[in-house]
Amino acid sequence: MINDIEIIKAESSKINAVDFDNLTFGSVFSDHMLVCDYKEGKWRAPKIMPYQPITLDPSAKIFHYGQSVFEGMKAYKDAENNVWLFRPLDNFKRLNISSKRLAIPELPEAYFMEGLKALLDLDKDWIPTNDGSSLYIRPFIFASGQGFHASPADEYKFIICTAPSGSYFAGDVKVLIEETYSRSANGGVGFAKAGGNYAGQFYPTQLAKAKGYHQVIWTDDNTHEYIEEAGAMNIFVRINDTLITAPTSDRILDGITRKSIIELAKSEGIDVQVKKLTVTEVVDAAKNGTLKEMFGAGTAAVVSPISAFGYKGEDYELPKLDSTYASFLKKRITDIQTNKTEDPFGWRFKVD
């Protein structure tokens, strides 16, 4: 426990200006933010302050060398106004795993967890209660230290902002299996939630969008034969009644929704295989009718059904099933997240 979180409250709240019935994703921000500075070799105690602009020297290393990591989480409110998080310690641990790879100093657990709880307590009115909405939480760290020398910064900022948000994707998603561009290298930073991993995906995704797709499914950079992930989501494929997803690696993010889906599906008696998945296998299954479902899994979208995929100039439609693993698992996981059902896994985390 830390008892020294300084809190400077906003003079007035912006909450009345927000239309909670028509929220987009991550574009409206709550009244407060948590800020924690790393200086002279040490993370300083977190402060909560009104949501406000950040001022940086033009030579701050974030602008030049992409030294940044982030996390994505959601807070939910149940019918009794209790506030819930989902596996928050896993986000904390992953943030430090990402930081280590990006040469960013690791953050103390109490600064993350106690800071987050204090922030949510202060801004709990910002947690939406509409179905499908949540308070999206964005913890991030970036290099604020200065200098035009390509080396790790000596100063960093850890910030948590929150944003009441609706759905990440509207409707089903049509994806393109990538044959030219790549997201990550063996021995690279693909497993980390590093800022640079995202910027590199924008241009290939723009090209895919121009062809009518919403997202890219990334394949390995060497052969483009193995399905990896979708950049903001891990990918699951159902062939007959077996649910398959790729193993994590140094190229693939260890998604918290991904691992929850695996555990949940197994506990429901679904045959789950974590194995390398080839594009050929998926295309063959689409052709012979054994490909039943594909979906993405990630914090922002939770479970996002894929309606079709494109590969080598051909489109493959997924069948429209009455009952899907995707909708079943999405309901199970969101019911646990929102305290509508028992949580046999101990994933739900009450914010007191």
| Binding of residue 122 to a copy of itself (CB under 8 A) | no
Q: Give the residue with the Cβ less far from a copy of itself, 232 or 285.
A: 232
199, 208, 183: which is closest to 311 by C-alpha?
208
| Binding of residue 345 to a copy of itself (CB under 8 A) | no
68, 8, 56: which is closest to 32 by C-alpha?
8
Provide, rounded to whole angstroms, the least separation between the CB of residue 90 and a copy of itself: 19
Provide, rounded to whole angstroms, the least separation between the CB of residue 264 and a copy of itself: 25
Q: Give the residue with the Cβ less far from a copy of itself, 149 or 287.
A: 149
Residues with Cβ within 8 Å of 260's Cβ and at least 6 positions away in sequence, in order, are: 86, 87, 333, 345, 347
3-class SS of residue 287: helix
Provide, rounded to whole angstroms, the least separation between the CB of residue 178 and a copy of itself: 8
Determine the Cα–Cα distance for residues 136 and 206; give it in Å rounded to an integer.
25
Cα dihedral across residues 139, 88, 152, 250: positive or negative = negative
* The only residue of 13, 146, 167, 327 in contact with a copy of itself, by rule CB under 8 A: 146
Place of tokens 């429901």: 268
Binders of a copy of itself in range 226-285 (CB under 8 A)? 231-232
Cross-strand partners of 298: 302
Kindly write down the DSSP assignment for every residue of 64-119, as one continuous string.
HH--EEE--EEEEE-TT--EEEESHHHHHHHHHHHHHHTTPPPPPHHHHHHHHHHH
Provide, rounded to whole angstroms, the least separation between the CB of residue 299 and a copy of itself: 11
* The only residue of 43, 140, 316, 328 in contact with a copy of itself, by rule CB under 8 A: 140
* The only residue of 43, 181, 316, 349 in contact with a copy of itself, by rule CB under 8 A: 181
Q: Give the residue with the Cβ less far from a copy of itself, 108 or 188.
A: 188
Q: Give the residue with the Cβ less far from a copy of itself, 176 or 262.
A: 176
Nearest 5°: CA angle at 257, between 260 and 171? 125
* 87 φψ region: left (φ > 0), alpha (ψ -120 to 50), beta (else): left
Binders of a copy of itself in range 14-73 (CB under 8 A)? 25-27, 29, 33, 51-60, 62-68, 70, 72
At 175, give phi and psi (nearest 5°).
-115, 155
| Binding of residue 210 to a copy of itself (CB under 8 A) | no
* The only residue of 121, 129, 170, 203 in contact with a copy of itself, by rule CB under 8 A: 203
| Binding of residue 108 to a copy of itself (CB under 8 A) | no
| Binding of residue 182 to a copy of itself (CB under 8 A) | yes
| Binding of residue 163 to a copy of itself (CB under 8 A) | yes
* The only residue of 32, 77, 183, 348 in contact with a copy of itself, by rule CB under 8 A: 183
| Binding of residue 297 to a copy of itself (CB under 8 A) | no
Around 178, how many Cα atoms within 13 Å sit in the side-chain half-sphere?
28
* The only residue of 88, 164, 195, 296 in contact with a copy of itself, by rule CB under 8 A: 195
Determine the Cα–Cα distance for residues 159 and 313; give it in Å rounded to an integer.
43
